[in-house]
Homo-oligomer: A and B are copies of this chain.
Amino acid sequence: MKLAVYGYGNLGRGVECAVKQNADAELVAVFTRRAPETVKTLTGVPVYSADRVLEFKDKIDILIICGGSATDLPVMTPALAENFNVIDSFDTHAKIPSHFDNVDNAADKSGHIALISAGWDPGMFSLNRLYASSILPEGKDYTFWGKGVSQGHSDAVRRIEGVVDARQYTVPVESALEAVRSGSCPDLTTRQKHLRECYVVAEEGADLARIENEIKTMPNYFADYDTTVTFISADEMKEKHSGLPHGGFVIRSGKTGLNKEHSQTIEYSLKLDSNPEFTASAIVAFARALNRMAIRGITGCKTVFDIAPGDMSPLTPEAMRKMML
A321:B309 contact, CB within 8 angstroms = no
Chain B: CB-nearest residue to A274: B262
How far, in Å, is A275 (CB) from chain B's closest CB?
10
With A131-B309, A305-B320 known to touch, is A17 a contact of B96 (CB < 8 Å)?
Answer: no
- Which single member of B183, B262, B274, B320 contacts A264 (CB below 8 Å)? B274
- Which single member of B265, B278, B312 contacts A271 (CB below 8 Å)? B265
How far, in Å, is A29 (CB) from chain B's closest CB?
19
Is A97 an interface residue when CB atoms closer than 8 A count as contact? yes
Is A122 an interface residue when CB atoms closer than 8 A count as contact? yes
Tell me how many chains of this kind the complex includes: 2
Give the bracket for the number of chain A residues in contact with chain B: 35 or more
Chain B binder among A46-54, A133-141, A195-203: A133-141
B305:A309 contact, CB within 8 angstroms = yes
Q: How far is the CA of A272 from the CA of B268 in the complex (A)?
A: 15
How far, in Å, is A56 (CB) from chain B's closest CB?
24
B96:A130 contact, CB within 8 angstroms = no
A→B interface (CB under 8 Å):
14, 17-18, 20-22, 42-43, 93, 96-97, 100, 117, 122, 124, 126-131, 133-138, 181, 183, 256-258, 261-274, 277-278, 280-282, 285, 288, 303-310, 312-314, 317-318, 320-322, 324-325
